[in-house]
Structure 1
Amino acid sequence: MPGRRAASILLLSLIPAAAAAYDGVPFYGYAYGPGGGYPLSLPQTLRGTVPVPVARMATKPADTLAELYPALAACWQAPGGLGRPSGGADDIEITLRLALRRDGSLIGPPRVTYAAGVAGDRRTLLVRGTLDALARCTPAHITPGLGRAIAGRPVALRFVYRPPA
């Protein structure tokens, strides 16, 4: 008897799906209109975390994202007067959101989306120093293949600075 009950529940759960007519178009997400939908995709933002300052500058064009992130962070230096992290934090962190053209130049101004470990005037100092460093490192020296792959896509680049003890 328990097997018959499970089979009945299974059949009842399939009835609504079988009742809808299949129009030949796959449904990938939420419908905005009758029969409409949009395909679901992976996150479009390219994300990377770089411990700064970077030990050395790249000598060849970046061909992968793993090579691009340090190339963009290579010009970052701790701004004078930044000091130690506040609030008991070990690190000072700042995240920029930006987009690049195929030639490695910036599309519009980058945005600071996150900053931690500093407050007040020191936060302003960190933001200004990070934006100036990015301006010095762009246009990024990248290969044509990487340029085609990243052109116009948002990049979230996180710099993590741990001051010397």
Structure 2
Amino acid sequence: MKNMAGMLLIAGAVVMVATSPSAAAQLNTMDEVGTAIQACWTPPADAGNSIVTLSFSFKRDGTLLGPPRPTAAKVAGDDKARKSFIDAATAAVKNCTPLNLSPQLAQGIAGNVFTLQFVSPKQ
């Protein structure tokens, strides 16, 4: 019984590390930052052919400097669909941070505006 409890504890720790954005590989370029955030993106099922561009900034520690803001959006459907699509993209950025930035990237990233386009269907 002790052995089973120990195995469950280890399995839980592995799952926590595997799903934690901060435990991810160190990011060295802005392309890697974009790829990491895109990996967190799941567009709504009924999004059709939609696009939203979000604008956001990071602190040196990889956390967001304020909330992501939509700067452009072309969303299929009504206002509810538009809100759902933009909310999903915003959630992807928020849920994927803090990022594990290399010291070199962290030095130059703070306060700079980063834009990222989210496209459905996911490409």
Report deviation, 1:69: 0.7
Note the residue ranges of structure 2 that are not aligned, 5 or more in a row.
1-20
Structure 1 equivalent of residue 48 of structure 2: 84
Correspondent of 1:99 among 41, 57, 67: 57
The letter for the 1-side match of 2:48 is: R
The number of residues matched between the two structures is 101
Contact 1:98/1:107 (<8 A) preserved: yes
1:156 maps onto 2:115 in alignment? yes
Structure 1 equivalent of residue 36 of structure 2: 71
Structure 2 counterparts to residues 113-132 of structure 1, below 5 A: 113-119=71-77, 120-132=79-91
Larger CA Rg, structure 1 vs 2: 1
Identity across matched positions, percent: 33
Report deviation, 1:60: 1.5
Report deviation, 1:128: 1.1
Partner of 1:113, secondary structure, is strand
1:134 maps onto 2:93 in alignment? yes
Report deviation, 1:59: 4.7
Q: Name the TM-score, length of structure 1 as normaliser.
A: 0.55
Report deviation, 1:160: 1.9
Asked which structure has the greater RCO (Cα within 8 Å, sep 6+), the reply is 2
Partner of 2:108, secondary structure, is helix
Correspondent of 2:27 among 48, 55, 62: 62
Correspondent of 2:69 among 111, 115, 118: 111
Contact 1:76/1:133 (<8 A) preserved: yes
CA shift digits 1:72-102 (9 cap, x unpaired): 222110224x2423xxxxxx21100100000
- Partners of 1:163 and 1:64 in 2: how far apart? 22
- Partners of 1:135 and 1:154 in 2: how far apart? 15
